[in-house]
Amino acid sequence: SFDVVALGTQGGLSGDNLTSYLIRTEGDARYIALDAGSTLPGIAKGIEKGSFPDVTPEKAAPLTPQGYIFREQINAYFISHPHLDHVAGLILGSPDDKKKTIYTLADSANTLHNHYFNWKSWPNFSDAGNGERLGTYRINSPRVGQTFTLGVTPMRGVIYPLSHNGTASSMLLISARGESFAYFGDTGADAVERSKNLDAIWRVLGPLIQQKALKGMIIETSYDDAQPDNKLLGHLTPKLLLSELTQLEKYSGGAGSLKDLPIVISHIKPTLVAGKDPQALIQQQLSAGNSLGVKFMFMQQGDKAVF
Ligand SMILES: Nc1ncnc2c1ncn2[C@@H]1O[C@@H]2COP(=O)(O)O[C@H]2[C@H]1O
């Protein structure tokens, strides 16, 4: 089974609750961070909620429990794409982090080197690029579709490309002991993006669902159904996610094959409009259209779930 802790769940606007999830396999203390929008604030919330029961002040000493989880328990990072709301926590925490690998698409690695770790936006904590290289992070771009080991953990990963309104984004398929979990970065629907990236992924996940090996997934639903198609900016709505999942069902053995599949909804965009509750709306729209019978989950910052 996989342990997941949500460090940040929202898709923008404020800095303290941006997309980031920790995942580890049962019996191993080390996590992989799936994106790093908010890290330290999410760890603090997780401690408050009892989501890190194995970390005591005695064990963490001389660090705080928050520091110990950040430095010692996060073993490596996966960055789905280099937008600020997915990397801010990584950049801000870098001066106090220890040597780790960042796995990301080659295109995202270039952005990290050229636009963040460049001594202008931020000191170069990476192992390549301009000026002195402080070397905290080794930025590693495994080839798409190729299996690699995730840090020093029992988990292996395979990266698949996603389309996000012109930005290259990606999904990480994590596997350990014959079980798998899929983490999606920002993505639009194939029909809107004029892409086949999601279709290609559904063809990979279908057989895993048939074998009952896929324990769950995290995928975005940034906007509610009222968002017009020309303002989706590379994101999903309940209607679009449900139609994509209908494709997945076809590759998973047909009607009923997705029943009870846990799907965590991430990256909901907060609103500054008074009286609007995007999460409640998205929850209601997903539930109203859920003839597939999947188990939609709305993890909040600091929550832990076992898959
Ligand atoms: N063309 C655009 N016009 C207005 N806002 C945009 C445009 N492209 C991106 N954005 C905003 O910038 C954000 C970057 O992160 P997201 O993709 O999560 O969501 C995006 C939108 O909120």
pLDDT in tens, 30-58: 999 999 999 999 999 999 999 999 999 99
Residue 2 predicted with pLDDT over 90:
yes
Residue nearest to atom 2 of ligand 1 (CA): 233
The residue whose CA is least distant from atom 21 of ligand 1 is: 233
Mean pLDDT for all residues in the chain: 98
233, 236, 268, best to mutate for ligand 1 pocket (most atoms within 8 Å of CB): 233
Q: Is 233 in the pocket of ligand 1 (CB under 6 A)?
A: yes
Residues 6+ apart with CB under 8 A from 205: 173, 182, 214, 217, 248, 251, 252
pLDDT given for residue 130 in this prediction? 87
Q: What is the pLDDT of residues 4-13, one digit of tens each?
A: 999 999 999 9
pLDDT band at 162 (very low <50, low <70, confident <90, very high): very high
Helix-strand-coil percent breakdown of the chain, rounded to 5? 30, 25, 45
Report the SS3 class of residue 139.
strand
pTM more than 0.90: yes
**Tokens 């982090």 appear where?**
97
ipTM (interface pTM) = 0.94
Q: Containing H/E element for 216? A: strand 214-220
**pLDDT tens-place string over residues 113-159:** 999 999 999 999 999 998 999 999 999 999 999 999 999 999 999 99
As given in the structure block, the two tokens for residue 192 are 């809107």
The partner residues of 33 in beta bridges, in order of sequence, read 22, 77
- State yes or no: cis peptide before 62, omega within 30 of 0: yes
Euclidean distance between CA atoms 30 and 150, whole angstroms:
10
Residues 89/36, Cβ–Cβ less than 8 Å: yes
Quick check: CB of 12 below 6 Å from ligand 1?
yes
Q: What secondary structure letter does DSSP report for 25?
A: E
pLDDT digit string, tens, across residues 76-92: 999 999 999 999 999 99
* Whole-number Å distance between alpha carbons of 19 and 15: 10
CB 81 less than 6 A from any atom of ligand 1? no
Ligand 1: residue whose CA is nearest its atom 19: 233
Is residue 40 within 8 Å of 66, Cβ to Cβ? yes
Distance (Å) from CA 234 to ligand 1 centroid:
9
> 82 in ligand 1 pocket by Cβ < 6 Å?
no
**Mean per-residue pLDDT, 102-121:** 97
Q: Letter for the amino acid at 112?
A: L
